[in-house]
Amino acid sequence: MRTRTERRERLVPHTIDGETLMVVEEYTVEVPVPPKDWDHIVLTGALGVIAVVLAIVIVWSTASIGELLTRAISSSTIAYAAATGFSVGWVICMAFEWLNRYDPIRIRRPRTAGHVFLAADMAAVCVHGWVADSLKVGVIGALLSGGAKWLWTLALDHQAAPLNARTQQWVTIKRGEVGSRLALGAVRRQLTRAESRAAAEEAALRTAPGPRPDPEDEESDGPDATILPLPANAVTTKDAVRIAWDAGLREPDAIRRYVSQAQGRAAPPDTVNRYVRALKVGA
């Protein structure tokens, strides 16, 4: 059995002049070396080769389809940018296949979409070969894309260990429970935002100033600070002055005494005189 030497540290007691303290001591130990995991090494190497093949295929497809699209549009930048969508589409679908490798139901859609993107990519590469009078090269380029996809499918099948029926149901139930919690959290956040907006609108409506009522005893040309507010259902100063005027009173003092008697309080002389002058002008 192979071993390797490792340096480690430990605390040991050390006494000087009768005082003992714990100090660090280094020591060596021989530990066994585990055998190489050739399965992991081979898998890592295979995944590395697949990654390199995918990179080559993406570059080849982008170059072929981009050159084909430049025949239709003048901007080569736009053409090659659009060409990346063919290869990147099925590569992204492979990533979703990897994420859903333990769910045979959810993996179907990304796998189907990946095949559709792959078919479009291979068809575009073949069309480029046909347009460039080199159909054989186009077919070979299309087969490269198909081969890369097939290699990835083999690696995915190797990694996706099948689950028995009961374990698959357990995983599905737990995934549903966690998904429900995430969904309810998002819904609660939406409801909280909606409640906050509704509360803010209601508070704004409650605090909005209402229209200011015009005092009954003010002229149309504006408020008069000398006019005192009258209680509800009481005779206003203006009405009391008019009643006294219609009764034949013309002296301001007599009119003021009548208004004070009608309102039960002393009437402002300036207000009474102003209304009297208005009645005289109207007469």
Long-range CB contact pairs, 116-123, < 8 A, 24+ = 117/86, 117/89, 117/90, 117/93, 118/90, 118/145, 118/146, 118/149, 120/86, 120/89, 121/61, 121/65, 121/86, 121/87, 121/89, 121/90, 121/145, 122/146
In the chain, the largest separation of any two C-alpha atoms, in whole Å, equals 134
pLDDT of residue 113: 92
Please state, in angstroms and rounded to a whole number, the distance separating the CA atoms of residues 1 and 175: 45
pLDDT for the residue 162: 77
CA dist list (Å): 17 to 41, 85, 157: 57, 79, 70
Judged against a pLDDT cut of 70, whether residue 218 lies above it is answered with no
- Least confident segment among 4-8, 57-61, 117-121, 257-261: 257-261
Q: What is the pLDDT of residue 16?
A: 92
Confirm if 239 and 227 have CB atoms less than 8 A apart: no
The residue extents of the domains of the chain are: 3-32, 49-162, 237-282
Residues ≥6 apart with Cβ < 8 Å to 77:
none
pLDDT value of residue 211: 53
**The two three-digit tokens of residue 178, written as one number:** 């966690």
Q: Which residues pair with 3 in a beta bridge?
A: 32
pLDDT at 263: 74
Evaluate whether 106 touches 100 at the Cβ level (below 8 Å): yes
End-to-end C-alpha distance for the chain, whole angstroms: 130
Give, in order, the Cα–Cα distances in Å from 252 to each of 180, 260, 269, 272, 275: 84, 12, 8, 7, 10
Candidates 48, 149, 42, 173; CA nearest to 95 is 149
pLDDT at 225: 44
Predicted pLDDT at 234: 57
Question: Which pLDDT does position 278 carry in this prediction?
Answer: 82
Q: Is the model's pLDDT at 229 over the cut of 60?
A: no
Rounded mean pLDDT of 151-180?
85
pLDDT bucket at 25, cuts 50 / 70 / 90:
very high
pLDDT value at 125 more than 50: yes
pLDDT at 169: 86
Mean pLDDT (the chain) is 82
What percent of the chain lies above the pLDDT cut of 70?
89
Q: Does residue 30 register a pLDDT over 80?
A: yes
CA gap 139, 126 in Å, rounded: 5
pLDDT tens column, 238-267: 888 888 887 778 788 888 888 888 777 787
Sequence-distant (6+) residues with CB within 8 A of 226 are: 268, 270, 271
- Note if the pTM is more than 0.85: no
Residue 213's pLDDT is what? 53
Q: Beta strands of the chain (E only): which ranges?
A: 3-16, 19-32
Share of the chain above pLDDT 90, in %: 14
Closest CA to 57 of 135, 134, 152, 127: 152
